[in-house]
Amino acid sequence: MKFEESEYVKSFNYCKIVLEFGEFFFCEKFVIGEIFEDVDYGWDKIEAVAVLIVEHYGNNPKIGYISNRINSYSNDPRLWTKFHETYDLVIANAIVSYTKFSHLNADIEKRLTTKSTKRCFSLDEAINWMLNLEEFKN
């Protein structure tokens, strides 16, 4: 389910940013990314999103990132390790998978990161997990 089709769109304050490769929803404590079909989500695109995160949340944000994989696209899971080393912005990741293949990719990504990562089967599960993180309760 797309974020804009969910019940949360009415209850969350968010800023929507549309780039040539996807849509991003900047909520209070996390960003939801929905990458377009057949995109190669490489380092240049990841960096573009990191710049937007800093512009939106400030120089030292501690936010979550929800990858809402409503479309099929390619990415190198190792780039997320590089992202976390280069930009210490994200405290936790949730990956929403809608296919078996996407869920297998999420498993690989989970194994390659030191950040708290949850594989989810719905956007609702990912948002609820993110909202209940201890890091956000302080």
Domain borders along the chain are 3-136
From first to last of its 138 residues, the chain has per-residue pLDDT tens of: 999 999 999 999 999 999 999 999 999 999 999 999 999 999 999 999 999 999 999 988 889 999 999 999 988 888 878 888 888 899 999 999 998 878 777 777 777 777 888 999 999 999 999 999 988 776
Domain 3-136 class in CATH: alpha beta
Which run of H or E residues covers position 65?
strand 63-68
**Residue 129 near residue 120 (C-beta atoms within 8 A):** yes
**What are the strands of the beta sheet with 15-19, ordered from one edge?**
15-19, 22-26, 30-35, 63-68, 90-96, 116-120
* Residue for token pair 């990161």: 113
Q: How far apart are CA 22 and CA 136, in angstroms?
A: 26
**Residue 1 near residue 122 (C-beta atoms within 8 A):** yes
Helix residue ranges per DSSP H, the chain = 8-11, 43-57, 78-86, 100-112, 123-131
* Both tokens assigned to 88: 């210490």
